Each structure stands twice: as structure tokens, then as C-alpha cells.
Structure 1
Amino acid sequence: MKGSRSTHPVFCATFFAAVFYSVALTGAAVENGALLTGKAAMGDWTSDAPGVRRKITVQDLPAPSSNALAINRPHVVDRPTDTQPKVPPGFKIELYASGFRDPRFLLTAPNGDIFVVESRANQIKVLRDSNADGKPDRTEIFAEHDLNKPFGIAFYPPGGDPQFLYVANTDGVIRFPYRNGNLKARGPAQKLAAHLSSGGLLRGGGHWTRCIVFSPDGKKMYVSIGSRSNVSDNAAEENRARIFEFNPDGSEQKVYAWGIRNAVGIAFRPGTNELWMSTNERDEMGEDLPPDYISSVRRGGFYGWPWYYIGNHQDPRKKGKHPELAGKVIVPDLLVQAHSAS
């Protein structure tokens, strides 16, 4: 939509409450001088603040621990009046939209519309800012049928004139006919050949989110699927903890990379053919182990789960299993604080 874009870069962030915010770069961002390294980089919430940076290396990893972890269950509280999440100097944050049920994924259409996936409500909504005031003045339900815990969505083919909106349900991939500017799907969902092992809550059906992305040339589709468990290697984990490669019609399913506990985000680095992922690692090895990570993804690459972590570090719960894999575990590019659900 002409004139609907801000003069400053704007980023959207979802929160698991029913709101999400827009974050704008208002000027030259000021880099906070705090860089935490070594043990201090592991830290906890008491050392967190907007702009604090952490550098975690393989050499910083502590020994595995069997000590019980502190369990901090989430609970919902009302947002105090006139308060917003804090951001680093040079950024501005505003409430963009509210009233959603578990908004888990956002995607901007070529025309500037924002698609919001409400996973628990099994709906996909479209937000449109038609008067360019920085707030959506129109919200429509794009789709609400044939959705089963939807998470990732992607336009196809890549570029400025997509023909479909692809949706990664927890048990497979569907697509809706779409043209730029549509506020409603142009037709019913089309189910593709791609089949995924479904998930529910972590303790039951395992990780349920599925992320989806297309290669820049549009020839291949990639879908991530998390493990069923924290650290099991039984038969129930077959075809889990992987990133799959498909043709755009869902055919020719292949394992692109494996040993990835839960790649909850995958994307191609802009301007390249490099696939990247953000991964939630396992629990119950200590407060600071193992780190979550963000990394490029190598075709055929093995990232350790469940037998190893962050290179050839063996999970003590899997001692002696698969020694032939020890030298094949890829060390991720960027380590993130353990249990941060990166």
C-alpha cells in the first residue's frame, strides 16, 4: 500500500499474551558497553537489561550437573497502565495490536499487510494499516478451516507476486490460494503430500510448532519439526528433531539436517542461499547447559541431539551410545543462554 511504510525500520515482536508491539529504530542506535563473557555470560534475569550483550563460547561450557533445576512456572498478570517493554537507546516501542489468542507467528505480505497466526485459536488474521498512521485499522480472518495448531506460514513463490500462502500445521502442510492484497483466502485449503508427525504439549505429543520457508529460487521447501521428548532416542523419535526438504508440492521428502532438538525458527539469510535456524536445546543438565543456539544449517549436517551437544560433548544420560557420531557433530555458529527458548 503506497505510503503505508514508516520512514524508519520497523520490527514486530509477538508476546504470548494477546498483544504484539512494533519496535522502530528512531535514530542511531547506541550500543550498550556491557559485554558479558565467561561465566558471567551465562547469567540469569538479574543481569539482563536492554542492550546487554553476551558472548558464550564452547570453552565456557560447565560440566553437566544432575542438580534439580529451579522451576519457575509462568503466570499471567495485567500489564500496568502506561508501561511498555524496555528497549535499548535509539529504539522506540509501541503497542501495535491486541486481543489475540496465542499469536505465535507474524509475516509481512509484499503489499505491507501483516499476517498473524493464532495457533490455539486455529486462525490466521490479516492486519492492514490503510491510512498509514502506524496502527492497523482493519483486521480480517484470512482462514479458520483446516488449521491444526498452525505455526509457520510462507508466501509462494518468493517475491512480489505470490500465488499461495503455505501453512505449516502440526501434522502437515497446506496452502491457500492468495493474491497480493487479499484479506480472505481465495479458495479452500489444498492439502499437500508433506506429512509430519503431529505434536501436542511437550510432555505428551512433543514439540508441536512447525516452521516453513522456501529457498530463494522457489524450487525447494523446508519444514522444521522438533523432538517428541526432552532427550529420548526411542522409536517415537523417528522423523523428529529434523529439518526436512520438499518440493513445493510436498513431494520428495528428504532429511536436510538432523539431531536438532527443536528448530523453532528457520529462514534464509537475505541475499544468500544460506539456511539458518534458531534452536531450543534440551533440559535437566544444569542451569547453564546446554546453550540454545542460532546457526547456519549444513545439508546432511548432524547437530548432536540426543546423544551429543555443542560438538562432541556427550550427554551423560546417553553415555557410550553412538561413538561413531562423536566427530561428526557440528558446533553451532552462535551460542545463546541455556533454557532461554531462543
Structure 2
Amino acid sequence: MLISVGSASNVDDSDTHPTEFHRADVLEFTPDGKFEKIYAAGIRNCVGEAINPITGALWCSTNERDGLGDNLVPDYITSVPEDSFFGWPWWYMGGHQDPRHAGKHPELKDKVRTPDVILEPHFASLQMSFYPNINKRDADHAGNDFPVAFAGDAFAAEHGSWNRSKRTGYEVIRVPMKNGKATGEYEDFLTGFVTADGKVWGRPVGVTAANDGALIVTDDGSKTVWRVAYVGKK
């Protein structure tokens, strides 16, 4: 079992804060609950965990740190190789050091992995899910399948910013994949949760595919479960 444990802060490190021990990590356990190892480290909050059905790799949809302004630090979606390190709390996005930890752990700079898909800062990226391989689905479970081009792509719920001067997020995004690997970009998929005057009425949290091919999205802003079905082009 791979279990994500988020950090309890925006800046604290385990050097001086014992409460951060085994946090901001993905931990590996046996099915009976025995701790095996730190599978991956330096991930502030891997809120959404998913296994890529094509490659079998772990992926994380990650909330990054606040407190560095509107435009830092980007949230991200990424594959998470075993023993990888993503920088928290000293570094981010490769070799960029958090100024609040200036001078700390220079030996880790070159070990920081850059995420596969970089999102906007403060998107508040929550659950992610991979869309099924449509060509291999049981015909009895089909009905509202998305176009074949969506097979194997990821969808992620972006809960939305709360501390940014210009709102960002409040949507579900699609992350295109090719042979199980991200192409690097993302696109808006389900939007409209912010009105023209800037008021928020919906905030996506969870996303998954139903047996009939529709996408199910939970929203704790309007306390609604949305069903997004494909009915063909008009």
C-alpha cells in the first residue's frame, strides 16, 4: 500500500519540527499495516493518488506551499518514481530554493525532481483519476464513453484558490497522456464555477469515471455530485 501523508504546514521542516516526521511523503506499507519505507519524499501534499493503468506507476495531484505570493509555488500533477524527491520544504520545481530556507540543504538541490505537469499556483489540486481504456471495457458497462482520444488521460479536480488576488482553479482539468506518460500540458474540461462578478458557487473535490463511461465530480461548494456524460457531437 502506498499512503500519502501531507505536511502540517507551509514551511516547517523536519530538522526543527518533529511533527513533520514522515510527513510530506508517500509511505509504503504491507497489506497488514507494517511500515516498509519512504516510497517518495518532498511532496508537500499528494492529495490525489492514482495508479496509471497503462504503466502501473504512481501519480500524485499535489498542493504546493503558500506564503510566497500569488505566483508561487505552482501546484502540480506528476508521476512519482520510487525513491524520488520533489524538494519540500527546502526546494521546489527542480533547483529553486524556498527563500525561507535560504542556505539549507544545498546537497539536495540536484536531487529535486521536476514534476511532469506544472499547474497554476494555488489551484488547490485535489483528487485525480485516470479515464479507462475504452477499447478494453466490458460492453455491458459502456454507454456514455468519452471519445477514444480520452482513453488513459487523467482528470483532476482543482478546488480553487483562497488566498490569491485573482482567483484560479474552480474547475476540472484534463491531462493528456501518450502511452501512459504526460505530454506536459493540461486543458480546461469542466468550468463555470465562478460567476462573471467573481463569486464562487462550486468547488470540485473528487473525480472518477462511472461504469457507463460518464465522469463523476463531487463539489463541496454547491454540495452537489455532477455527472458529465458524452452524447456525441452536435
TM-score by length of 1: 0.35
Aligned to 1:300: 83
Aligned to 1:275: 58
Q: Which structure has the bigger radius of gyration?
A: 1
- CA positional deviation for 1:272: 2.2
Spell out, residue by residue over 1:171-190, the C-alpha distance to the aligned partner (whole angstroms, 9 max, x if none): xxxxxxxxxxxxxxxxxxxx
Q: Distance in 1 between matches of 2:35 and 2:66?
A: 33
Say if 2:3 is the partner of 1:223: yes
Q: Distance in 1 between matches of 2:123 and 2:55?
A: 28
Aligned to 1:251: 34
Aligned to 1:109: none
Spell out, residue by residue over 1:42-62, the C-alpha distance to the aligned partner (whole angstroms, 9 max, x if none): xxxxxxxxxxxxxxxxxxxxx
Share of identical aligned residues, percent?
A: 57
* Residues 27 and 35 in structure 2, CA contact (< 8 A), matched pair in contact too: no
Residue type matched to 2:5 in 1? I
Q: What's the secondary structure of 1:302's corresponding residue?
A: coil
Q: Distance in 2 between matches of 1:225 and 1:252?
A: 13
Q: What's the secondary structure of 1:244's corresponding residue?
A: strand
Q: Distance in 2 between matches of 1:323 and 1:232?
A: 17
Spell out, residue by residue over 1:69-111, the C-alpha distance to the aligned partner (whole angstroms, 9 max, x if none): xxxxxxxxxxxxxxxxxxxxxxxxxxxxxxxxxxxxxxxxxxx
- CA positional deviation for 1:228: 1.1
Q: How does 1:38-77 map to 2 (within 5 A)?
A: none
- CA positional deviation for 1:271: 2.7
Q: What's the secondary structure of 2:100's corresponding residue?
A: helix
Q: How does 1:119-268 map to 2 (within 5 A)?
A: 221-233=1-13, 234-268=17-51
Q: Distance in 1 between matches of 2:117 and 2:63?
A: 13
Q: Which has the higher contact order (CA 8 A, sep 6+)?
A: 2
Aligned residues: 122
Q: Distance in 1 between matches of 2:71 and 2:52?
A: 28
- CA positional deviation for 1:247: 1.1
Aligned to 2:74: 291
Q: Distance in 2 between matches of 1:287 and 1:228?
A: 21
Q: Distance in 1 between matches of 2:22 and 2:29?
A: 14
Q: Distance in 1 between matches of 2:84 and 2:53?
A: 21
Q: Which runs of 5+ in 1 are unaligned?
A: 1-220
Q: Distance in 1 between matches of 2:55 and 2:91?
A: 30
Return closer, same or farther for 1:252/1:232 CA change in 2, 3 Å cut-off: closer
Q: Distance in 1 between matches of 2:36 and 2:9?
A: 23
Runs of 4+ more than 4 Å apart: none
Q: Distance in 1 between matches of 2:111 and 2:82?
A: 13
In structure 2, which of residues 114, 121, 146 is the aligned counterpart of residue 338 of structure 1? 121
Say if 2:99 is the partner of 1:316: yes
Q: Which runs of 5+ in 2 are unaligned?
A: 126-234
CA RMSD of aligned residues (A): 0.8
- CA positional deviation for 1:300: 0.8
Q: Distance in 1 between matches of 2:35 and 2:90?
A: 28
Q: Distance in 2 between matches of 1:298 and 1:231?
A: 24
Q: What's the secondary structure of 1:327's corresponding residue?
A: helix
Residue type matched to 1:338 in 2? P
* Residues 4 and 46 in structure 2, CA contact (< 8 A), matched pair in contact too: yes
* Residues 85 and 113 in structure 2, CA contact (< 8 A), matched pair in contact too: yes
Q: Distance in 2 between matches of 1:323 and 1:225?
A: 25
